[in-house]
Structure 1
Amino acid sequence: MSLLLVLGVSHLTSALYAPGSRIREKIESKKITSQVKEKLPEKYGPYYFDQPIDHFSLNTSTFKHRYWANTDHYKQGGPVILYNAGETPADDRSFYVINSTMAELAKRLDGIIIVMEHRFYGTSMPAPDFSAKSLVTLNTKQALEDIASFIKDLKLPNLDIELPPAPETKYIVYGGSYSGNLAAWMRLKYPHLVFAAVPSSAPVHMSYDFYQYFEPIRKYGPKHCIKAIHSVILFVDHILFSPLEGPKIRLKERFGAQDLKHDDDFAELLSYPLGLWQAMTPASNPFVEEFCSVFEGLSSVHDYVEAYGNYTKSIIKKACDKEENVNECMDTHDPRGKMYTDVTNENRAWLWQVCTEYAYWQTGAPLWKSTIVSRKLNTAWFQRQCPLTFGEHEVPRRPIWRKINREYEGWYVSLDRVFWIDGEYDPWREDSIQSESAPDRSDWEEDAKYVVLPKSVHHWDFFVSETVSESIKNTQEQVYTSIRKWIDEADQPSATFAMKYQSPN
């Protein structure tokens, strides 16, 4: 079980980029990995599917769409558990076909488990780079049609018999985080192909100014730690919002960032440790162990600032090359910077998605709310990077997040045979349908399930090990019993006839 736990950490930290992700990418790129990863047996893949580059044009060109499949436990009539890996290369997640809640679900249902890579991640590349010209086919509609096309035309090379088409074969789309959105949206838009869905920690409601991301951290983080962070940010913003340059330079010097020219870049640097909250797992808590521990035994604002500053200095040392100063390393204002000119950088794929469609800008709270993030980190900081990265005329002035909410119904989506799972402490919960701001569903007439996992963060239900809580184990069992019930009900003769002739429109 330890393998999945390791993979799960990677899964959580990469999913839906956390605050300070740009700095985190710099740190990760400098790590030398000596650990030899366990190799997935070849019989599970990877396999490749000829996927249309553009589903909505007359061009018939295709690309090699990568996937993995485990058919070991398949019996005639069993379902397919289909997981799209979302906004990260699927290599590590390929192990989900043998060691995951989804693999266990497929085994118990006599089914198949498939892990499918998302277009423009890993080796599933419809184009040679990540320029705006190449990324024009990276959007929600294309991604969903990828899954639909895969379901309609799938022929598994490691299965001796031909798999009956949907809806005769029941496809259950599983997903966590952004891929959880895809799971829900597949059930919404392709009910004739997708029998059921399990979206976990799925922020299906788009937000432009998403300051609420930090609210669970502020509410549920260790009290002394949150008090320290809040005190430091008040101190910092008092100086950053003043017209005097001298105090700003001296402030940045205390954090090892005296060369960092722009105040909003400095604010982003200070947000880095808050991203560790999303990286928590049932077995590890880097937010407390790596960051909050620096405030132990301290009580004054002066000491809090000193401790935060020392922590930030260590991050700068990890992220920046020795020969470059902090401004060269972390500046986001220079259009000549490598972050804007290197079209081979795979991180541009998710940036394109949030710049064109989703937003999700993680900002400091408005004045009327307490904040643990500098208010210098605002929507303008995020939005400015979109035209600098892709070109002023290549991206919309703002992401079309409102249109996405209208098209896919956001908080108001009503679906049957969907099992929604969220973590009580998940920073993405505010954009999920189980947000405290979302409409109450207690009287909605739909055959759906809703679970909020107590004291859990970002799709913790994916973990299968002795470290998970009883509530997670119970939820995993509920997912099985619910899907088993839905399958049994659908297999009744009258229901089978209705499903067979269900209209795709």
Structure 2
Amino acid sequence: MLLQQLLAFAASLSVAYARLPDGRLNGNFRRPATAPIVPLPNPDAPVISRNGTVLPPYTTVFFFDQLIDHNNPSLGTFKQRFWHTWEFYEEGGPIILNTPGETNADGFSGYLTNRTINGQIAQQQNGSTIVLEHRFYGLSNPLPDLTVNSLRLHTLQQAIDDLEYFAKNVNLPMPNGDNLAPGKAPWILVGGSYSGALTSWTMVNKPGLFAAGYASSAVVEAILDFWEYFEPIRLNMPANCSADVQAVIEHVDKTFSGNNQTAIQQLKENWGLGNMTHLDDVAGALRNNMWDWQSLQVTTGPGGQFFKFCDALEVKDGVSAPASGFGLDHALAAWGAYWRNTYYREICGTDDAVDCLGTYDATADFYTNTTIDNASRSWMWIVCNEVGYLQEGAPVGHPSLVTRLVQPPYDLRQCRLMFPGAFSTSSVPNTLATNVKFHGWNVRIKNLFFANGIRDPWKDATVSAAGINVPSTESQPIGLGDGFHCSDLLTSSNIDPTILAVQNQGLAAMKKFLASWKPSGKTGRVTTPKATPQGLSSSFVSSFVKPVNVWFKGAKGV
């Protein structure tokens, strides 16, 4: 669930790096990134539809009465936020639904526009676009806190049921908006990263609900020990940087596994982490430099944080290292200097190293903060229960960019600290159940398009994983470009041609999938409670002719 310029983190998190928009949970954990935020040039401006009708700004927030518990509807509903436009809609066109996934959805209204694949599909197919905030993220919370008792309603199945209930019951703020449920109009589900996996899982779990799906960088296979996260990085990063990082990590693991306390302390001091007592925390913190790869996009170029790190190791007196690198001694000193002089402030600010990078203090705010809009906590619950995705060192005998001192027990201990009482010492995420239920790499379903990137660190959890050989078929095509994470979700004039080819392949697939769709007339609509945008009558929303100022404005796009 990441990543990139896209994640809005809870302001209440205490550590500086947890507020960075790149998918970090704490200094020693990383979640999949959602799609990059798409800036809006004028977020307050009204939208002009194809026929000249003036529509509300993209940033306008609507509310849907979503069931708190789909297994017990008597518990009532909560307000689930969504954003919507019918800028490109014409009668008979599809409804394109997207959730950003594991993040506050403020700022994602750009996914209503043709700056993204969502809007490109809408423009091509004359459709309407929706961004729906995921339960237990942002301000869409079934219950008023993120305690264990509340989070028991935070499951993959409940999230999937949300998508179904929304599609069948929402009264969209557009003409005929109460008569566009699946069966009467084709719905397309679009997602990236975790929400891309949710697209696949939903189409498996709710066959026929969606006429088509577009899943970008979809991490469909739940994996406990996901050491392969670092493989696309190792294979695609500069060779000299890879060689020197591996040499340093091998030295760190050997030293930290020994008994020479003087050498151990000197090595900790090299990174300015001398006051940290847990060696796995020290070694694990160095993964942050590798995680910066996740923030790259094709247009990032050599100015990205990851390449600044490699330059610090591989450029000496204006000369670049050969493919074999400069060797251990130089790389060790250069990496340490980069951390002490530059990088530590980037991820920790003025926080103490133990507070910022340590994982053993059960009283830390990271573990105890149960207030809403805390994406880190909400995602950790899914990690600890259903998906895993623990990014660890490679098996012995395989090249590794990160320490082997960090293995699944290291991260699973954090599950117990964050959710005391919910997990025993033997508890592990039930990835097998997730993969059996939602088919993982074995997904074979009609009208589902997968888009993946060769340089995506999450590639080996997608259907393009090395050695898996999922076939690309007419009914379930797979597009693979030279992209990073969710690169194909954005559209621009200077996009990589291989990613443009994937987008064109996806658009062609959507056109083909929808050509065979026929209305069934069956919607499955539940009439109680009536789900309409808050404060708006259907007669009002069917007569937009000018901007109005009674709309509740949500967060602006950045």
Same fold (TM over 0.5): yes
Paired residues of 2:225 and 2:391 also in contact (CA < 8 A): yes
| Inter-partner Cα distance in structure 2 for 1:312 and 1:37 | 36
| Paired amino acid for 2:62 | Y
Shift, 1:394, TM fit: 5.1
Match of 1:388 in 2: 417
Shift, 1:161, TM fit: 5.2
After superposition, the Cα gap between the structure-2 partners of 1:140 and 1:237, relative to the gap in structure 1 and judged at 3 Å, is same
| Inter-partner Cα distance in structure 1 for 2:516 and 2:76 | 41
| Number of residues of Structure 1 aligned to a counterpart in Structure 2 | 478
Paired residues of 1:21 and 1:272 also in contact (CA < 8 A): no
Q: TM-score, normalised by structure 1?
A: 0.88
| Paired amino acid for 1:388 | L
| Inter-partner Cα distance in structure 2 for 1:12 and 1:459 | 13
Paired residues of 1:20 and 1:269 also in contact (CA < 8 A): no
Match of 2:79 in 1: 64
| Inter-partner Cα distance in structure 1 for 2:231 and 2:149 | 37
Paired residues of 2:270 and 2:336 also in contact (CA < 8 A): yes
Shift, 1:75, TM fit: 1.3
Structural RMSD (CA): 2.7
Match of 1:30 in 2: none
Match of 1:127 in 2: 143
| Paired amino acid for 1:430 | D
Is residue 345 of structure 2 the alignment partner of residue 301 of structure 1? no
After superposition, the Cα gap between the structure-2 partners of 1:321 and 1:11, relative to the gap in structure 1 and judged at 3 Å, is closer
Residues 332-343 of structure 1 aligned to structure 2 (within 5 Å): 332-343=359-370
Identity across aligned pairs (percent)?
Answer: 29
After superposition, the Cα gap between the structure-2 partners of 1:161 and 1:80, relative to the gap in structure 1 and judged at 3 Å, is closer
Shift, 1:147, TM fit: 0.4
Paired residues of 1:355 and 1:386 also in contact (CA < 8 A): yes
Is residue 357 of structure 2 the alignment partner of residue 330 of structure 1? yes
Match of 2:390 in 1: 361
SS at match of 1:278: helix
Shift, 1:487, TM fit: 1.6
Residues 215-230 of structure 1 aligned to structure 2 (within 5 Å): 215-230=231-246
| Paired amino acid for 1:433 | V
Deviations 1:155-180 (A, max 9, x none): 11233554332122111100100000
Deviations 1:207-249 (A, max 9, x none): 1111000011111110111111111111111101113322111
Q: 2:476 aligns with which of 429, 432, 448?
A: 448
Residues 96-107 of structure 1 aligned to structure 2 (within 5 Å): 96-98=111-113, 99-107=115-123
| Paired amino acid for 1:362 | Q
Paired residues of 1:270 and 1:312 also in contact (CA < 8 A): no
Match of 2:295 in 1: 279
Unpaired runs of 5+ residues, structure 2, are 10-20, 31-38, 46-55, 526-558
Is residue 107 of structure 2 the alignment partner of residue 92 of structure 1? yes
Is residue 302 of structure 2 the alignment partner of residue 290 of structure 1? no
Is residue 208 of structure 2 the alignment partner of residue 208 of structure 1? no
Unpaired runs of 5+ residues, structure 1, are 1-6, 27-34
Deviations 1:12-69 (A, max 9, x none): 898xx9786413999xxxxxxxx99852544442100000111112433211101111
| Paired amino acid for 2:409 | A
After superposition, the Cα gap between the structure-2 partners of 1:85 and 1:205, relative to the gap in structure 1 and judged at 3 Å, is same
After superposition, the Cα gap between the structure-2 partners of 1:36 and 1:424, relative to the gap in structure 1 and judged at 3 Å, is closer
Residues 150-299 of structure 1 aligned to structure 2 (within 5 Å): 150-159=166-175, 162-285=178-301, 286-295=304-313, 296-297=315-316, 299=326
Paired residues of 2:199 and 2:214 also in contact (CA < 8 A): yes
Q: Write 1 or 2 for the structure with the bigger share of helix.
A: 1
Q: TM-score, normalised by structure 2?
A: 0.80
SS at match of 1:490: coil
| Inter-partner Cα distance in structure 2 for 1:279 and 1:328 | 24
| Paired amino acid for 1:474 | A
Deviations 1:85-134 (A, max 9, x none): 10111112111112322112102211101111111111111122222122
Residues 319-468 of structure 1 aligned to structure 2 (within 5 Å): 319-320=347-348, 322=350, 325-344=352-371, 345-393=374-422, 397-441=427-471, 447-453=475-481, 455-468=482-495
SS at match of 1:64: strand
After superposition, the Cα gap between the structure-2 partners of 1:46 and 1:358, relative to the gap in structure 1 and judged at 3 Å, is same
Match of 2:62 in 1: 47
SS at match of 1:65: strand
Shift, 1:318, TM fit: 3.6
Is residue 344 of structure 2 the alignment partner of residue 316 of structure 1? yes
SS at match of 1:277: helix
Paired residues of 2:146 and 2:378 also in contact (CA < 8 A): yes
| Inter-partner Cα distance in structure 2 for 1:407 and 1:161 | 33
